[in-house]
Structure 1
Amino acid sequence: MNLIVQTLTITAPVFVMLFVGAAIRRLGWIDAAFISTASSLVFRGTMPVLLFLSLLKADLSQLKLELVLYFALATLGAFFLAWAWAIYRCPREDRGVYVQGTFRGNNGIIGLALSSTLYGDYGMSLGGVLAAVAILLYNSLSAMILAFYSTEVKASPRSILLSIAQNPLIIGVLAGVPFAYWQIGLPDWLLVSAESFAHMTLPLALICIGGSLSLNALRAERDLALSATWMKVACLPLITTLGAVLYGFRGADLGVLFLNFASPTAAASFVMAQAIRANYELAAAIIVLTTLAAALTMNIGILVLQAIGWA
């Protein structure tokens, strides 16, 4: 029951900000131009700083090489499974948005918070390390798949690599790696300023997502969004968690892995889709539906694992 309450406590503010975005768009307080500008600010400014700070605070002393390696390989496996399913399921122009919405999770917020709630300091430390690994993998793979299916950029190996190298989120992650590895601190005044700037990321991104949503768009994208949701919160977490069980992970390690695999789609997927003029309405619909569904599936999953005695 505590986990159910905690999950709802974390996911409810997400929906509130989505509704705020939808409401103020309907009232005319924001328009398409604001959404485009704000999304660009998040993509180029606030989110790279947030990712940099996330890595800066990661406790790499808690690094478990075997567990992190499994998480990375499972993430790659989920990415390629999602891609294969997208080739069968999606029109070509929507495949990049569908794939990133299906395989990338909200590890840094929902996954980390629930790991901490369930497993205390150990869950926070391990979840923080996995979130740092996820940041690098998710953004690199998402930049690649979006560039590959982009109608704006010719999909050649050079253009895809250039798109990844120039992606502000990737730059923010790579800039944070040496600070995390060598435990380099920042002056307090700079850290406070950076945190204030980064704190705009989630509310601004969610307002943009809410402002982009409409009933017509949800109806138009319903089938693809439901398919991506089923993959994100049910199929892929089941496959990757069973793989972890077969590998031998148990207890808190298995629980933290599951919570990271089962997290709903991150708001960054909308920001990246918007930045390259992809189908951001599909991205928004996937975020909304996976967040709603994960409030149920994450609780069922962890309760089953605990009942069996594995977590």
Structure 2
Amino acid sequence: MLELFSQTLAVTVPVFAMVLLGIVLKRIGWIDSAFIGTASLLVFKGCMPTLIFISLLKADTHAAIGFGLLSYFTLAMLASVGLALAWGIWRIPREDRGVYVQGAFRGNCGIVGLALAVSSYGDFGLALGGIFAAIVIVIYNVTSTVILAHYSADIRSSWRDNARGIATNPLILGVVLALPFAFFDIGLPDWLMRSAQLFADLTLPLALICIGGTLSLAAIAQASRIAVSASTMKLLGLPLVFTALAYALGFRGSELGVMFLYFGSPTAAASFVMARAYGANDKLAAAIIVLTTIAAAVTINLGMFVLGSIGAI
């Protein structure tokens, strides 16, 4: 328990520190709104797709992973979108509904989830986590594109516009371009991989600094009810439902453990980038990310402790 708690903090504390750095840099005038807008666009269109591409190239796509496991995980992720959307339609004002729904289901699986899976389960965690990451990237970005476009006050789009947005989404393109290289073991020149890795490494710090630059205590206070509701669903409601269902269906050990870590990951920084790109309430998106990032250190460790105490993992 203590070791896992330390591993979780090693991932979450640096993340929150970068958000804090963004707040400080904005306060002292080293970054401004123009920088945040440009940097967010760079992350969304360049850095993050490159990170996705490289992560899939490094994942072991030929590992012996059960079809039932992948099917359940995929269905659980789709169902989480449906539950978040249903609650949002019932309880959340329309102007904030798109950001709420995305914040409630979109986990930081490709960074926090994968890092914890590797720390907890080694090579198996890397293999399964890499495949899970490819699945959620497609699901998250397709559903987020449709939901944010539908509820955007600035963007009025048809189904044809939504389809075009999905097909041209840089994050989805990163997955599509990587799949042939990953499945057919097509290598890239070492100099190209190193250059791409340097560019990809900008993703998390730049996105989190932008979050901090946008964030304000006043914004958190104004959006507290919605932000807390989305955070509660992301860290408690959805992980509890889908981990319990996985246990009931007979999943155990490292498979259940990796799924829980993905279900319970804090809200992804990409949700802020996409909210800003669609003219949605990016301050609410930032508040949800910060709240879930802080609370995840507790909820993930508590969940792993409970699963371990009943012999599930």
Give yes or no for TM over 0.5. yes
The corresponding residue for 2:185 is 183
Q: What CA distance in whole angstroms lies between the structure 1 residues aligned with 2:78 and 2:37?
A: 31
What amino acid is the match of 2:279?
R
What amino acid is the match of 2:33?
A
Counterpart check, 1:91 vs 2:93: yes
Matches within 5 A, 1:19-98: 19-62=20-63, 63-98=65-100
Q: What CA distance in whole angstroms lies between the structure 2 residues aligned with 1:45 and 1:124?
A: 24
Deviation at 1:155, TM superposition (A): 3.6
- Is contact 2:62-2:183 (8 Å) kept? no
* Identity score, percent: 58
What amino acid is the match of 2:36?
I
Q: What CA distance in whole angstroms lies between the structure 1 residues aligned with 2:175 and 2:123?
A: 24
What amino acid is the match of 1:99?
V
- Is contact 1:58-1:132 (8 Å) kept? no
Deviation at 1:72, TM superposition (A): 0.5
The corresponding residue for 2:212 is 210
- Is contact 2:59-2:126 (8 Å) kept? no
SS at match of 1:153: coil
Q: What CA distance in whole angstroms lies between the structure 2 residues aligned with 1:46 and 1:223?
A: 32
Q: What CA distance in whole angstroms lies between the structure 1 residues aligned with 2:148 and 2:311?
A: 40
Deviation at 1:299, TM superposition (A): 0.5
The corresponding residue for 2:151 is 149
Deviations 1:267-295 (A, max 9, x none): 00001111111110010000000111111
Deviation at 1:134, TM superposition (A): 1.3
The corresponding residue for 2:165 is 163
Q: What CA distance in whole angstroms lies between the structure 2 residues aligned with 1:56 and 1:146?
A: 29
Counterpart among 254, 258, 261 of residue 259 in structure 1: 261
The corresponding residue for 2:106 is 104
Deviation at 1:150, TM superposition (A): 1.7
Counterpart check, 1:249 vs 2:251: yes
SS at match of 2:135: helix
Deviations 1:235-275 (A, max 9, x none): 00000101111111001111111011000001000011111
**126-135 or 78-87: which moved more?**
126-135
- Is contact 1:149-1:155 (8 Å) kept? no
Deviation at 1:154, TM superposition (A): 2.1
What amino acid is the match of 1:48?
P
- Is contact 2:267-2:293 (8 Å) kept? yes
What amino acid is the match of 2:297?
A
Q: What CA distance in whole angstroms lies between the structure 2 residues aligned with 1:89 and 1:39?
A: 30
The corresponding residue for 1:128 is 130
What amino acid is the match of 1:259?
L
**87-96 or 259-268: which moved more?**
87-96
SS at match of 2:62: helix
What amino acid is the match of 1:133?
I
The corresponding residue for 1:9 is 10
What amino acid is the match of 1:166?
T
Return 5+ residue gaps in structure 2 as ranges: none
What amino acid is the match of 2:40?
S
- Is contact 2:20-2:212 (8 Å) kept? yes
Return the TM-score normalized by structure 2: 0.97
Q: What CA distance in whole angstroms lies between the structure 1 residues aligned with 2:114 and 2:165?
A: 29
SS at match of 1:61: coil
Deviation at 1:120, TM superposition (A): 2.0
- Is contact 2:60-2:126 (8 Å) kept? no
Q: What CA distance in whole angstroms lies between the structure 2 residues aligned with 1:140 and 1:183?
A: 26
Counterpart check, 1:280 vs 2:282: yes
Q: What value does the CA root-mean-square deviation take over the aligned residues?
A: 1.0
- Is contact 1:232-1:265 (8 Å) kept? yes
Q: What CA distance in whole angstroms lies between the structure 2 residues aligned with 1:175 and 1:145?
A: 24
Return the TM-score normalized by structure 1: 0.98
What amino acid is the match of 2:238?
L
Q: What CA distance in whole angstroms lies between the structure 2 residues aligned with 1:45 and 1:26?
A: 27
SS at match of 1:19: helix
The corresponding residue for 2:309 is 307
- Is contact 1:153-1:159 (8 Å) kept? no
Deviations 1:23-78 (A, max 9, x none): 01000011011100100111111111111111111211123321111111000000
- Is contact 1:17-1:203 (8 Å) kept? yes
- Is contact 2:48-2:171 (8 Å) kept? yes
Return 5+ residue gaps in structure 1 as ranges: none
